[in-house]
Amino acid sequence: MTYVLVAFSVLVPIIGQLLFKAVALRTADGASVFDAATIALFAAAVTLYGLSTISWVVALRSLPLSAAYPFFALGFVTTPIAAHFLFGERIGWGVIIGTALVVAGLLAIVIDHR
């Protein structure tokens, strides 16, 4: 159950970031910051961050921080990919190489904590 909470804590802020990007795009296209849909998107993102924080605290009751925290790096892997498919953002070689290094680092940490 603890790793489910860690996964939730890691994946939910990614969704929050995508919602923040949607808010930014809406306001860049002329929508008011006080538009009902913009406020709803922003509130959903903030709520997700809150839920993520609560689940993170619960997960840390039974996991060492040194074992759990590196999984937040998965956000650096999944967020650019999601932004590419949802918003058409470019994924350059720097992102690809950086993502590969992050994944390699996570594998090293997981192997070390076995």
- pLDDT beneath 50, residues of the chain: none
Which residues touch 76 (CB under 8 Å, ≥6 apart)?
98, 99, 102
Q: Residue 25's pLDDT is what?
A: 93
Q: Residue 110's pLDDT is what?
A: 79
Neighbours of 92 (CB within 10 A): 10
Q: Residue 52's pLDDT is what?
A: 95
pTM: 0.84
Q: Residue 69's pLDDT is what?
A: 85
- Smallest CA-to-CA distance from 74 within 109, 23, 48, 22 is with 109
- Provide the residue ranges of all domains of the chain, joining segments of one domain with +: 2-112
Q: Residue 30's pLDDT is what?
A: 84
Q: Are 73 and 105 in contact (CB under 8 A)?
A: yes
